[in-house]
Structure 1
Amino acid sequence: MALAGAGSQGALASVRGLVEDETANRFVRNNVLAPIVPLCARRASSQVSFPAPVLSRLWRALKSVAAARVEEAAARCNPWDLEQGSPEVFDELCKLAAAGLRDPENAAFDSVRSLCDPEQLALCLQLSTLTRGCLPKLAEWVSRMSDERAAAARLAYRDACRISEDAGPLLLDILSAHLPDDWRIMRVISAVMDRPSDRYLASSEVSQFGERILTEIEETIALIESFSFADGEKAGRQAAQAAQKVQLQMVEIQQSVDIAKDGPWGKRLARQKQAMAKACELRMDQAEKELDKALPTRPISMLAKKGARGVAKLIEAPDEAMIRRAQSALAFVAELRACADKAGYGSSRTKVLEKLNARLDPYIEDVLHVARTGEGGDSAVAVKYLDIAASFIAYTRDDKTAEIVRRRAAAAIAA
């Protein structure tokens, strides 16, 4: 994109040519090796993956041992051919790569063998024909599974198992890498095994898929319990989004597997639901304290009862560290909107929001009064706190309410 303005002449013309050649080369490579491309990226330790340089080295090796086939693949990498389905030469090249990796005498693949387990990569490439056939159907398998699609998924799994005993689970792992949410592969597993019980699935050759999700849920619970408000709004949002993901993962397991209350996964899932609700409720309850620290108050009189709110303390400039902590806590509460009701802590979230708004509403009125009159504090400091309070109320209510507060602040300053 940076070189888009460079023409065929000039100092950057050769650089643009190199970039265009590399882009075209990667396009062909990624189409031919499409089944394994997402495996050459960061994945969980229990998932099949290979170092990123594997792709380029494997492609370089193929060019050296099958130059004519690679040229044919490049010629067939046009929109028309790709719309008609993957050309046979793509699968032929994958099979050649698998054979080359398994042949210790083939020096062209030495650089690839030095990076990973060559047999595992060879098996992934051997499955390329099956994988490539499944990929166009994968979106429908995980969104609108039917009896016909379930039969196709079972057939693909059986065909993989004929290649090798462990090739069936490997095929599912490869397909999961092509999904935006890899845990949705549970829908395909459910179809292949006709919605098995958790007892059966937990002892089967594909148990690692469910175990991986349950382990990820436990890790997310630990994240929510320990994330620091000091890391700001982004940390709060990320923690809440992780909670949303957990709620979806729990639903996915329940819909894909016949969960028994006393089953190995059923008992574990029940404990996780309780732990997640408890963790989210605890962190939401902390939001009010963080808000109090960010928006300090002073007692109205010496005789004020302990715990009384008091009025806004507008002497010193806002504490940025406290504001950042409050933003994190409030963002966490706000972002849980999408999953709180379904996950069982919706009423707790509603109560927390009521407390937060009961704290913010009178505070904003106090600060507006000081901003207009200068009575009870520094009007310049009051303006700063008004802007902060407006940003906070965007979390507890919405952006429209925050904008109204800002307009009132502007009017107070103008007056």
Structure 2
Amino acid sequence: MTSVGRASPTRGTMAAIAAHKLQIIRTLVETAPDAALRSLELALSGAGAQGALALVRGLIEDETTSRFVRNNVLAPIVPLCGRRVESGVAFPSPVLSRLWKALKIIAPDRVEEAAAKCNPWDLENGVPEVFDDLCKAAAAGLRDPQNATFDSVRSLCDPEHLALCLQVSTIARTCLPKLAEWVSRMSDERAFAAKLAYRDACRISDDAGPLLLDVLSAHLPDEWRIMRVISAVMDRPTDRYLASSEVREFGERILADIDASIARIETFNFAEGETAGRGAAQGAHRAQLQIVEFQQSVDIAKDGPWGKRLARHKQQMAKVCEQRMDQADKELEKALPTRPISMMSKKGSKGAARLTEEPDQAMILRAQSALAFIAELRSCADKAGYGTSRNKVLEKLNSRLDPYIEDVLHVARTGDGGDSGLAVKYLDVAAGFIAYTRDDKTAEIVRRRAAAAIAA
């Protein structure tokens, strides 16, 4: 009797969920982003075999399995259904789940077959034919206005555009295993395969060739590297030809992205700290890689439509980077305030440390942003043409930091010239700054010297 009495509340809970909340929970699970679903699955991994949590865990496991199958079947268009880093063909993220739900309704047996084929053996031995069949069925359903099953998908996007993507996906699927080789080391054989795929896509429609390239680019970590495939397909075209061709949009995107990187460097706010500084510098590095990619993939003429713009971009990027680097010295001075020259200051220094107030965190944040920007430019400054300017700025910054650190160390050891407690705090700030202008090893040496000074 006791055991029956204990079981009743569980059944009651299950019934309550089934009656009032189960559909809400199922909808939440079905619409949750992949990352959120993984987090939920992990959080409920310890749930027992019975009870409300076990029921929710079962829903999550079923949805995870369904998404695995869905993402294999619709693999070519998965990156298109969500936020893309670069502009290009894109659909709202719910398109993927609604499309899959419609396929389950119109072709349940084929979906079950696809699920059975989603095992390591089948996936390693080539793409199961049923995957492409389901993509074709989805394309046909979207194009059939009488098929109400796809109405929820049509309400989110242009059905013909999505249908064409699904039609092209059968070609894209054969290209995806080769894509990494195409963009890493293009050979004559690989170029021939890329040309065949592009030709096959163009047979579908005039727009399908560029669309194939767009779909493939969405699968690359750096989408602009699709220029290598375009170069192979078109035998390294001139910028004049490419700028007037059906794939000109890819070049225009890269040029627009370089413009955006330049604007970001011009306008990023030092007050946003290290992340903003590093992000802006990474944009400069990205732009440098994009310019090089352009030059290697396209026969650029100095007076060509894109050649002129690339030359202007290089000049603008060097100019804005130099301007922002030059601002770092003033930001450093605000974060490490000084007073008029003292006996402890070395020749050429800006003055002795002023240790009368607590370090200003807002000023420290600004200096960190400026210094992080300069540090992160290490990877591209020399190749981009402003390496010498960067070295001069670093030399100037270190000529400020070195005597400041010696001055503050003296105060920390002796108390002569300021508050030793404040000296220790400013010493830690300066050590953090010198990690940007030199390296972490130098910063650690400064911190050890500070520790020794305190111990003394």
Alignment correspondent of 1:190: 231
Alpha-carbon distance in structure 1 between the residues aligned to 2:50 and 2:124: 35
3-state SS of 2:316 partner: helix
1:65 matched to 2:111? The reply is no
* Structure 2 counterpart of 1:5, from 46, 49, 70: 46
Deviation at 1:268, TM superposition (A): 0.6
Q: After TM superposition, give the deviation of residue 301 of structure 1 in Å.
A: 6.5
* 2:268 equivalent to 1:227: yes
Question: Is residue 314 from structure 1 mapped to residue 355 from structure 2 by the alignment?
Answer: yes
1:406: which partner in 2?
A: 447
Residue type of the partner of 2:280? A
Are residues 1:147 and 2:151 paired? Answer: no
Q: Point out where structure 2 has 5 or more consecutive residues left out of the alignment.
A: 1-41
1:118 corresponding residue in structure 2: 159
> How far apart are residue 198 of structure 1 and its match?
0.3
Identify the residue that residue 92 of structure 2 maps to in structure 1: 51
Deviates more, 1:313-322 or 1:35-44: 35-44
Within 1, Cα distance between the matches of 2:292 and 2:358?
A: 47
Residue 6 (structure 1) shift: 2.4
CA distance in 1, matches of 2:336, 2:85: 42
Tell me what 1:236 maps to: 277
Residue type at the aligned position of 1:243: A
Alignment pair present for 1:292 and 2:333: yes
Deviation at 1:8, TM superposition (A): 2.5
**Root-mean-square deviation (Å):** 1.4
Question: Is the contact made by 1:202 and 1:210 (CA closer than 8 Å) also made in structure 2?
Answer: yes
Equivalences for 1:151-300 in 2 at 5 Å? Answer: 151-300=192-341
- Select 1:362's aligned residue among 387, 390, 403: 403
Q: 2:428 aligns with which of 374, 378, 387?
A: 387
Aligned length: 412
Which residue number in structure 1 is paired with residue 35 of structure 2? none
From 101, 123, 141, give the equivalent of 1:100. 141
Contact 2:86–2:223 (CA under 8 A) maintained in structure 1: no
Indicate conservation of the 8 Å contact 1:299/1:308, yes or no. Answer: no
TM-score, normalization by structure 2: 0.89
SS of aligned partner of 1:12? helix
Relative to structure 1, is the Cα distance of residues 308 and 27 closer, same or farther in structure 2, using a 3 angstrom cutoff?
Answer: closer
User: Partners of 1:204 and 1:27 in 2: how far apart?
Assistant: 38
Deviations 1:272-323 (A, max 9, x none): 0000001101111111111011100000369x9xx96110000111111111
Distance (Å, rounded) in 2 between the aligned partners of 1:390 and 1:156 = 56
Partner of residue 339, structure 1: 380
Q: Output the CA distance in 1 between the equivalents of 2:451 and 2:251.
A: 55
Q: Please list the CA deviations of residues 157-206 of structure 1 after superposition, one character each: whole Å capped at 9, or x if unmatched.
A: 01000000110000000000010000000000000000000000000000
Q: How far apart, in 1, do the equivalents of 2:191 and 2:86 lie?
A: 29
1:73/1:90 contact within 8 Å kept: yes
- In structure 2, what is the Cα distance between the partners aligned to 1:341 and 1:4? 51
**Structure 1 pair 44–118 and aligned structure 2 pair: CA distance change class (3 A):** farther
1:19 to 52, 56, 60: 60
User: How many Å apart are 1:43 and its aligned residue?
Assistant: 2.6
1:397 counterpart residue number: 438
In structure 2, C-alpha distance between the alignment counterparts of 1:273 and 1:211, rounded to whole Å = 16
Q: 2:79 aligns with which of 38, 41, 48?
A: 38
Whether the 8 Å CA contact 1:184–1:252 is kept in 2: the answer is: yes
Whole-angstrom distance in 2 between the partners of 1:300 and 1:400: 29
The whole-number CA distance in structure 1 between the counterparts of 2:51 and 2:110 is: 35
Mapped to 1, the partners of 2:52 and 2:91 lie a distance apart of 38
Displacement after TM superposition at 1:2 (Å): 1.4
The one-character-per-residue Cα deviations of 1:112-136 (angstroms, maximum 9, x if unpaired) are: 0000000000000011210100000
Q: Distance in 2 between matches of 1:273 and 1:45?
A: 21
Contact 2:195–2:232 (8 Å) recurs in 1: yes
Aligned residue for 2:33? Answer: none
The residue aligned with 2:177 is: 136
Which letter does structure 1 place at the counterpart of 2:175?
C
SS for the counterpart of 1:127 is helix
Structure 2 vs 1, CA of residues 46 and 315 (structure 1 numbering), >3 Å: closer, same or farther?
closer
Deviations 1:219-275 (A, max 9, x none): 111110111111111000000011110000000000000001111111110010000
Q: Secondary structure, in 3 states, of the residue corresponding to 1:293?
A: helix
Question: Does the aligned pair in 2 maintain the 1:195–1:257 contact within 8 Å?
Answer: yes
Report which stretch shifted further, 404-413 or 36-45: 36-45
CA contact (8 A) 2:194 2:229 kept: yes
For 1:292 and 1:79, locate their aligned partners in 2 and report how far apart those are by CA, in whole Å: 60
Which stretch shifts more, 4-13 or 193-202? 4-13
Q: Quick one: distance in 2 between partners of 1:320 and 1:46?
A: 38
Aligned partner of 1:250: which letter?
I
